[in-house]
Amino acid sequence: MDSQDIIIIGGGAAGFFAAINAKIKSPDLKVTILEQSKDVLNKVRISGGGRCNATHHCFDPKLLTAYYPRGQRELLGPFHVFGAQDTVSWFELHGVKLYTEPDGCMFPVSNSSDTIIQCFLQLAKKYQIAIVTNAKVKDFTRHDVSNSHRFEVSTDKAVYYTKMLMLATGSSPFIWNMLENKGYEIVHPCPSLFTFNLPNHPISKLMGLVVKNASVSIENSKITTDGPLLITHWGLSGPAILKASAWGATLLAERNYDFTAYVDWIPNIKTEEINQLREIMAKKKVTANHLFGLPARLWQFLMESILTDKEKNWASLTKNEMSNIITQLKKCPFPVKGKTTFKEEFVTAGGVALHQINFKTFESKIHPGLYMAGEVINIDAVTGGFNFQAAWTGGYIAAMTMAEKG
């Protein structure tokens, strides 16, 4: 094959975004995308239930970094170069208008991920980007700079030569093993964005119930998150749980997903306000009158786990019963044993250690001319469009650098 200017391994979000932007910047570049599967942009297709949560309406770079358990410090500079506002503008410029949902998640107005996929495919065709599918990369070699073909890329079908190489391979154990053999430090990968399993826990009888604002903490850690919480037939889910899983990804993997999670069902209510109910609600039955905006079924479940007498009123509660009620409402313990992948959106914590990447260019510090973006490096975020934003940002900055050097 003729020598390429840029070869990108990985036909996903970061890979396509890098290829397209490099060609927009420098149309004469020869750019090829190598994808190991038969289809490209698979993760874009399934994201957001098939709608593609493209980014988040958080346009302040500093605030945006707070959603990244890994990569928070490193992404501040890149987000100033290409942040969420830039993503919105880029897509609109290329015919894809995004809208914002109440929680800040941004989707194409078509509510279909295919809109973004077709945008990328049409731009790839327009700029004559070669896309090779079913191309499983076996290895790459970097030759001396004096060699006009700096990188040699071997696949199971062909050998490619290129001046610059980009890895946008996502969470690929094969690529990580290859890089480790080439001297890269790989942070051991583990799942992020998962739900908590509570085997045989009676709360599963309330499956489908949502608490709009709860606080979740992990025993013997500093992890505390908040947001909507969903009770499922297998345990606990929803944004509050997913955020806790992201921030605790490494810790919870070390604990083999066997730990205690505490739920504060009413984080905006102080203990004193609960104690005052003995006077304010003195003659009212405890179980029958749900309070603090909690769903009636949940309130009843929590109170019945403490009180055997459903007729008991607030004034007749013992100190021990009152203490137990406060615990159930403010620090309700759940023994977690196992995890469940959140829908089809599997995100991995881990990858190439951040100190080995130059975040002004997304270039490797070990192999000049080699770029990385997306989940191949140790960056991941909570749910809400943030993982895609990191892919757009890394892909864009790598593209600008490669185009300038091309």
- CATH, residue 29: 3.50.50.60
Say which residue the tokens 């070669």 belong to. Answer: 130
Q: Last residue of some domain: 309, 341, 373? A: 341
Q: Last residue of some domain: 316, 341, 366? A: 341
Quote the strand ranges of 329-405, DSSP E. 332-337, 339-341, 347-352, 357-358, 363-364, 370-372
Question: In which domain, by residue range, is 62 found?
Answer: 4-190+345-405
pLDDT confidence of residue 348: 87
Q: Which of the 8 DSSP states describes residue 234?
A: S
52 & 84 share domain: yes
Handedness of CA 361, 135, 44, 125 (dihedral sign): positive
230 & 170 share domain: no
11 & 51 share domain: yes
pLDDT confidence of residue 143: 87
119 & 22 share domain: yes
Handedness of CA 44, 47, 53, 55 (dihedral sign): negative
164 & 273 share domain: no
pLDDT confidence of residue 406: 83
337 & 377 share domain: no
Q: Which of the 8 DSSP states describes residue 291?
A: -
pTM: 0.90
Q: Which residues pair with 192 in a beta bridge?
A: 347
Residue by residue, pLDDT tens for the chain (406 residues) are 568 999 999 999 999 999 999 999 999 999 999 999 999 999 999 988 899 999 999 999 999 999 999 999 999 999 999 999 999 999 999 999 999 999 999 999 999 999 999 999 999 999 999 999 999 999 999 987 665 569 999 999 899 999 999 999 999 999 999 999 999 999 999 999 999 999 999 999 999 999 999 999 999 999 999 999 999 999 999 999 999 999 999 999 999 999 999 999 999 999 999 999 999 999 999 999 999 999 999 999 999 999 989 899 999 999 999 999 999 999 999 999 999 876 555 688 999 999 999 999 999 999 999 999 999 999 999 989 999 999 999 999 999 999 999 8
Q: What is the CATH number of the domain that holds 307?
A: 1.10.8
Instruction: Determine contact, residues 342/310, Cβ cutoff 8 Å.
Output: no
Q: What's at 78, amino acid-wise?
A: P
Handedness of CA 46, 49, 52, 55 (dihedral sign): negative
pLDDT confidence of residue 240: 96
pLDDT confidence of residue 347: 81
164 & 19 share domain: yes
Cα(153)–Cα(31) distance, rounded to whole angstroms?
A: 14
For residues 176, 182, 187, 189, the Cα torsion angle rounded to the nearest 10 degrees is: 10
Handedness of CA 268, 273, 278, 283 (dihedral sign): negative
The two three-digit tokens of residue 189, written as one number: 């990968």
Side-by-side strand order, sheet with 332-337: 332-337, 258-264, 210-218, 224-231, 235-237, 194-197, 339-341
311 & 163 share domain: no
269 & 352 share domain: no
Q: Which residues pair with 230 in a beta bridge?
A: 210, 237
Say which residue the tokens 């610059």 belong to. Answer: 164
77 & 165 share domain: yes
Total domain count, the chain: 2
pLDDT confidence of residue 286: 96
139 & 280 share domain: no
Buried b (16+ CB within 10 A) or exposed e, 171-206: bbeebbebbeeeebebbebbbbbbbbbbeebebeeb
DSSP of 245-278: HHHTHHHHHHTTTEEEEEEES-TTS-HHHHHTHH
Closest C-alpha to 13, from 45, 50, 59: 45
pLDDT confidence of residue 1: 59
200 & 100 share domain: no
Instruction: Determine contact, residues 338/306, Cβ cutoff 8 Å.
Output: no
Q: Last residue of some domain: 341, 364, 383? A: 341
